[in-house]
Amino acid sequence: DVKVTQSSRYLVKRTGEKVFLECVQDMDHENMFWYRQDPGLGLRLIYFSYDVKMKEKGDIPEGYSVSREKKERFSLILESASTNQTSMYLCASGEGRIVQYFGAGTRLSVL
Amino acid sequence: AQTVTQSQPEMSVQEAETVTLSCTYDTSESDYYLFWYKQPPSRQMILVIRQEAYKQQNATENRFSVNFQKAAKSFSLKISDSQLGDAAMYFCAYTANAGKSTFGDGTTLTVKP
């Protein structure tokens, strides 16, 4: 009954590397989201997409970019990873205003 | 900017008892949604319950119910007959516009057997 799949549970990267986090949903949702979760800071929205090739910045887009070439896939890109991007990254999808389904998360460590 | 405040970083409840998690929010919007999400130790976030601001009736989902006080901008979650599986971090969230959800910092709920 998998609905939102993130390609990796754990990633270890080096400073300066280009990092791709992949997310796929199987519910034909228009909206997809990337959040970052840090202790004591809750979830913070990085980017979201409301349609193929459409994107909007969230609250903390600096250092990140996204790609949505197909409706079911939403990728988060760290152009040049830095240690302050070590975090848990959560992908989600939903219809309208509802962030309904989350992936299991990718814990990224940047060394 | 919209803010969501969960004033209880940690809560505990005895199995089979009732617990209430608090959430307040700040907004100038009149049309919005409020949500409670559950994140068990396995980390998969789950939508527990949602409330549309225009609805006066409080939402309920089985053992989960909310107390929505629009004027006070308060949105608490009540868990009745608590079970061990309810142990998790709970997040309150607000959204007025599609894609622009704001989350609280979370409340960690412990259920004691």
User: How high is the pLDDT of residue B98?
Assistant: 66
- pLDDT confidence band for B42 (50 / 70 / 90): confident
User: Do residues B89 and B45 make contact, with C-beta atoms less than 8 angstroms apart?
Assistant: no
Give the pLDDT of residue B99. 64
Residue A97 has what pLDDT?
A: 72
Tell me how many residue pairs between chain A and chain B have CB atoms under 8 A apart: 60
Give A83 to chain B, closest Cα distance, Å: 22
Name beta bridge partners: A51. Answer: A54
C-alpha distance across the termini of chain A, in Å: 35
Cα A26 from Cα B40, distance rounded (Å): 23
What percent of chain B clears pLDDT 70, i.e. is strictly above it?
A: 96
Q: Does B3 touch chain A (CB under 8 A)?
A: no
Contact yes or no for B99 and A102 at CB 8 A: no
A32: three-class secondary structure by DSSP: strand
What tens digit of pLDDT does each residue of B73-98 get?
A: 999 999 999 999 999 999 999 988 76
**Cβ-defined contact of B106 to A56 (cutoff 8 Å):** no
Run means of pLDDT, 10 residues per run, chain A, 111 residues: 87 97 94 92 91 91 96 97 96 85 95 96
Q: What is the pLDDT of residue A75?
A: 97
Instruction: Identify the pLDDT of residue A99.
Output: 83
Q: For residue A80, give Cα distances in angstroms to A16, A17, A71, A75, B7.
A: 4, 5, 26, 15, 36
Q: What is the pLDDT of residue A41?
A: 85
What does the mean pLDDT of chain B come to? 93
At B44 the pLDDT is 87
